[in-house]
Amino acid sequence: MKRMEAAIQNLRASGGRITNARRSVLQALVTARTHVTAEDLLNIVQSESPEIHLSTVYRTLDALEKLGVVDHVHLGHGRAVYHLSDNAHQHIVCDKCSSVEEVPSELFLQLEKDLKDKYRFKVRMNHFAVIGTCSQCLEKLDKSELN
């Protein structure tokens, strides 16, 4: 669990304190390893430490995000999902079934470069989701159009 230790060093170095709550949230993030909502994290965390409060989860995520350890993406209907920072993938989100899939970042490299070169806009990788329709839902749609 290198990531966990690195994050803890990071927190400490920035003058933060290492508390149970923070260790739990971090642990939960490592465990989950995918896009989880604050509430998902709360559930994981509370299965061990039921006293931990949702607002603490939010505040911890905030702190970790400021350190660059965590990122969050808004998936469209309000909820945000959080995960350990990692530039290796992006999210594609189905607007029919809300499923989230990860795709390699390389698909986005050209776009990133273009926006940089032509608009001096520095994309924050991993902080946006592409909305569309996933293969399963597309199939269902095709079938229903046959009727």
Applying CB under 8 A, the residues found at the interface with a copy of itself are 74, 76, 78, 92, 94-95, 101, 103, 107-108, 110-111, 114-115, 118-124, 127-135, 138
Tell me the CA distances in angstroms from 68 to 27, 43, 61, 71, 79, one per residue in order: 16, 23, 10, 7, 20
Residue 17 vs 122, nearer CB to a copy of itself:
122
- Choose among a copy of itself, DNA, none what residue 83 binds, the Cβ cut-off being 5 to 8 Å by kind: none
Nearest to 30, CA basis, from 49, 5, 52: 5
Q: Which tokens go with 82?
A: 């959080």
Cα separation of the two ends of the chain: 52
Q: How far is the CB of 105 from a copy of itself (least distance, A)?
A: 11
Q: How far is the CB of 104 from DNA (least distance, A)?
A: 26
Q: At what angle do helices 38-48 and 54-66 cross, to 10 degrees?
A: 110
Nearest to 97, CA basis, from 76, 69, 80, 117: 76
- Choose among a copy of itself, DNA, none what residue 119 binds, the Cβ cut-off being 5 to 8 Å by kind: a copy of itself
Q: How far is the CB of 120 from a copy of itself (least distance, A)?
A: 4
- Choose among a copy of itself, DNA, none what residue 102 binds, the Cβ cut-off being 5 to 8 Å by kind: none
Distance CA 76, CA 24 (A): 27
Site string for DNA, 37-66 (x = CB under 7 A): xxx---------x-xxxxxx-xxx-xx---
Q: What is the DSSP letter of 143?
A: H
Binding site for DNA (CB under 7 A): 11-12, 15-22, 37-39, 49, 51-56, 58-60, 62-63, 77-80
